[in-house]
């Protein structure tokens, strides 16, 4: 997909399809759409007067071969009432407009700049929106694939905004490619993405982007004593992998080395504490934290920030078998701490504990982990916000701010020392179950025990990592959540 920036009026912007966002009950005659309306001979006002065009959120109005403008088709997308996040509304409108064209096979899309917000952020969001929305999930369909055929995107803007829009669009495209990689990994069925295959795919990403990748196999993990990760993998025919990707800046690295750690459970049956059959198929998405790390590292490699970044992924399949760990078993983690396993379905925190320890050993002095960790997080925050927990308030605030700038919603949960009581074990250093109360926080608290005083934040993306039903703005399946925030953190843009 080729991306062009064009400083021209909306009327003069050529395309198969021109996507124009508008607000609810927007005044056409004296707003940014006035010129377009005039070129259409008052056509927009006519639509409004006739009650055909309201600007309601996700409302799409399609005009074929409109006389007076260069584009062959006009797609007007409603954004609802104006809010304090116009760029997020515009991004959603672009995504809805692109998805509306599904099955119509038009290859040249243009999107309109309303002149709102920072030109750089607009460019970033516009390029990201189109590239993400143009990818659907139908990899295993042999016919009736949902793919869109977007070959080129023109971002229409003004001469004053052009340079910044271009800079933003380059970045947005890189972020979208990372998100689409995360999405395609997430959408892979468990039999097509086992831990060794996830390692292979990560190595391919690394090779393509000039990153180094190291894959630790089971014999190595045994030597090292990664008992928590190996414990989870024990019930499966598929071996565990610990995957490390390293980004090194070209010049001298500034500041600390950051470690991004991902939960990579390629399928979570629950193990001996097996899950109910209803909905178990969703657990192929239990590697979306790892997927976000892979996608973010690919983008970071292209954006080339000045700091070292490590990606560490703990990959395993959680299955029941005669060899599987059982409730009551005690594992020795890589840190040396012993863990009483009271529920084999609380496996994410087990594999992450070893990965967090290893990331620190490799030199990470600041950590973020991402994991589809608890159903309780979905109960608390639904599919809108991800949960954020941290042992360092300044670091938590950096991440909240980064999420805010890129439109990913994060909500901080408390990490009070009192939650420690709930993960105290009678016979080991800690247990992997904290009871029904505050299930998301006690899982976070468990992880906290493995990071010591290293600044760390944990993102529980159980509710945001995938989308259960098709939406007007995005296809069902893995969402790519976390990639924009990690990239914004590690490779911030000069605005």
Question: By C-beta, is 298 or 318 nearer to ligand BES?
Answer: 318
Residue 345 interacts with Mn ion (CB under 5 A)? yes
Residue 415 interacts with ligand BES (CB under 6 A)? no
Contact flags string 277-306 toward ligand BES, x per CB under 6 A: ---------x--------------------
343 binds, among Zn ion, Mn ion, ligand BES, none (CB under 5 to 8 A by kind): ligand BES
What is the closest distance, in whole angstroms, from the C-beta atom of residue 339 to Zn ion in the complex? 16
Residue 433 interacts with ligand BES (CB under 6 A)? yes
Name the one range near Mn ion by CB under 5 A: 105-113, 130-138, 341-349, 393-401: 341-349
Cβ atoms of 76 and 96 closer than 8 Å: no
Question: Which H, E and C letters describe the chain, residue by residue?
Answer: CEEEEEECCCCCCCCCEEEEEECCCCCCCCCCCHHHHHHCCCHHHHHHHCCCCCCCCCCEEEEECCCCCCCCEEEEEECCCCCCCHHHHHHHHHHHHHHHCCCCCCCEEEEECCCCCCHHHHHHHHHHHHHHHCCCCCCCCCCCCCCCCCCEEEEEECHHHHHHHHHHHHHHHHHHHHHHHHHHHHHCCCCCCCHHHHHHHHHHHHHHHCCEEEEECHHHHHHHCCHHHHHHHCCCCCCCEEEEEEECCCCCCCCCCEEEEEEEEEEECCCCCCCCCCCHHHHHHCCHHHHHHHHHHHHHHHHCCCCCEEEEEEEEEECCCCCCCCCCCEEECCCCCEEECCCCCCCHHHHHHHHHHHHHHCCCCEEEEEECCCHHHHHHHCCCCEEEEECCHHHHHHHHHHHHHHCCCEEECCCCHHHHHHHCCCCCCEECCCCCCCHHHHHHHHHHCCCCCCCEEEEECCCCCEECCCCCCCCCEECCCCHHHHHHHHCCCCC
What is the closest distance, in whole angstroms, from the C-beta atom of residue 144 to ligand BES in the complex? 29
Question: By C-beta, is 59 or 268 nearer to Mn ion?
Answer: 268
Say whether 2 is catalytic. no
Question: By C-beta, is 206 or 288 nearer to Zn ion?
Answer: 288
What is the closest distance, in whole angstroms, from the C-beta atom of residue 193 to ligand BES in the complex? 15
Residue 266 interacts with ligand BES (CB under 6 A)? no
What is the closest distance, in whole angstroms, from the C-beta atom of residue 265 to ligand BES in the complex? 6
Name the one range near Mn ion by CB under 5 A: 111-119, 347-355, 416-424, 484-492: 347-355
Question: By C-beta, is 59 or 347 nearer to Zn ion?
Answer: 347
Say whether 167 is catalytic. no
Question: By C-beta, is 269 or 360 nearer to ligand BES?
Answer: 269
Tokens representing 234 are 């024990």
Distance CA 408, CA 174 (A): 17
Residue 86 interacts with ligand BES (CB under 6 A)? no
Which residues in 353-372 contact ligand BES (CB under 6 A)? 372
Among 225, 375, 407, 472, binds ligand BES (CB under 6 A): 375
What is the closest distance, in whole angstroms, from the C-beta atom of residue 295 to Mn ion in the complex? 22
Name the one range near Mn ion by CB under 5 A: 142-150, 163-171, 338-346, 447-455: 338-346
Among candidate residues 349, 366, 431, 448, the one labeled active-site is 349
462 binds, among Zn ion, ligand BES, Mn ion, none (CB under 5 to 8 A by kind): ligand BES
Question: By C-beta, is 287 or 364 nearer to Zn ion?
Answer: 287
The residue ranges that bind Zn ion (CB under 5 A) are 265, 268, 286, 348
Residue 268 interacts with Mn ion (CB under 5 A)? yes
What is the closest distance, in whole angstroms, from the C-beta atom of residue 346 to ligand BES in the complex? 4
Burial of 170 per CB tally in 10 Å (0-12, 13-18, 19+): middle
Contacting positions for ligand BES (CB under 6 A): 268, 286, 343, 345-348, 372-376, 378, 433, 439, 462
Catalytic residues: 275, 349
Contacting positions for Mn ion (CB under 5 A): 268, 345, 347
């Amino acid at each position: 997909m080729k991306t062009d920036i064009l400083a021209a009026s909306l009327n003069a912007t050529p395309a198969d399809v021109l996507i124009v966002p508008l607000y609810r009950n927007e005044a056409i005659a004296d707003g940014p759409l006035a010129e377009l309306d005039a070129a259409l001979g008052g056509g927009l006002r006519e639509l409004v007067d006739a009650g055909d065009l309201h600007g309601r959120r996700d409302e799409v109005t399609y005009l074929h071969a409109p006389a007076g403008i260069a584009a062959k088709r006009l797609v007007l997308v409603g954004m609802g009432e104006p809010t304090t996040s116009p760029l997020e509304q515009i991004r959603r409108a672009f995504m809805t407009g692109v998805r509306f064209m599904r099955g119509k096979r038009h290859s040249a899309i243009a999107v309109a700049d309303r002149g709102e917000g920072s030109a750089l952020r607009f460019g970033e969001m516009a390029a990201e929106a189109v590239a993400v929305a143009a990818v659907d999930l139908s990899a295993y369909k042999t016919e009736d694939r949902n793919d869109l055929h977007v070959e080129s995107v023109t971002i229409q803007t003004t001469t004053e905004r052009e340079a910044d829009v271009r800079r933003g669009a380059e970045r947005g495209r890189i972020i979208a490619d990372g998100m689409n990689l995360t999405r395609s990994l997430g959408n892979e069925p468990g039999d097509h993405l086992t831990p060794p295959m996830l390692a292979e795919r990560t190595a391919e990403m690394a090779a393509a982007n000039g990153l180094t990748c190291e894959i630790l196999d089971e014999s190595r993990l045994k030597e090292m004593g990664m008992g928590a990760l190996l414990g989870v993998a024990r019930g499966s025919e598929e071996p565990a992998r610990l995957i490390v990707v390293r980004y090194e800046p070209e010049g001298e690295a500034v500041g600390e080395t950051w470690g991004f750690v991902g939960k990579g459970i390629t399928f979570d049956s629950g193990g001996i504490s097996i899950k109910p059959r209803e909905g178990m198929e969703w657990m192929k998405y239990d590697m979306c934290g790892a997927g976000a790390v892979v996608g973010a590292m690919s983008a970071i490699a292209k954006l080339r920030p000045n700091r070292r970044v490590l990606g560490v992924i703990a990959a395993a399949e959680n299955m029941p078998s005669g060899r599987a760990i059982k409730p009551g078993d005690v594992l020795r983690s890589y840190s040396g701490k012993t863990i009483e396993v009271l529920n084999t379905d609380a496996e994410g925190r087990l594999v992450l504990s070893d990965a967090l320890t290893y990331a620190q050993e490799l030199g990470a002095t600041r950590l973020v982990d991402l994991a589809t960790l608890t159903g309780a997080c979905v109960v608390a925050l639904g599919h809108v916000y991800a949960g954020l927990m941290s042992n360092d308030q300044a670091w938590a605030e950096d991440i909240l701010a980064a999420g805010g700038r890129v439109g990913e919603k994060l909500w901080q949960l408390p990490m009070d020392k009192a939650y420690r009581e709930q993960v105290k074990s009678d016979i080991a250093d800690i247990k992997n179950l904290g009871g029904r109360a505050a299930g998301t926080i006690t899982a976070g608290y468990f992880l906290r025990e493995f990071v010591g005083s290293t600044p760390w934040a944990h993102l529980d993306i159980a509710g945001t990592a995938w989308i259960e039903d098709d939406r007007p703005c995005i296809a069902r399946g893995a969402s790519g959540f976390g990639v924009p925030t990690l990239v914004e953190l590690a490779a911030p843009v000069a605005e």
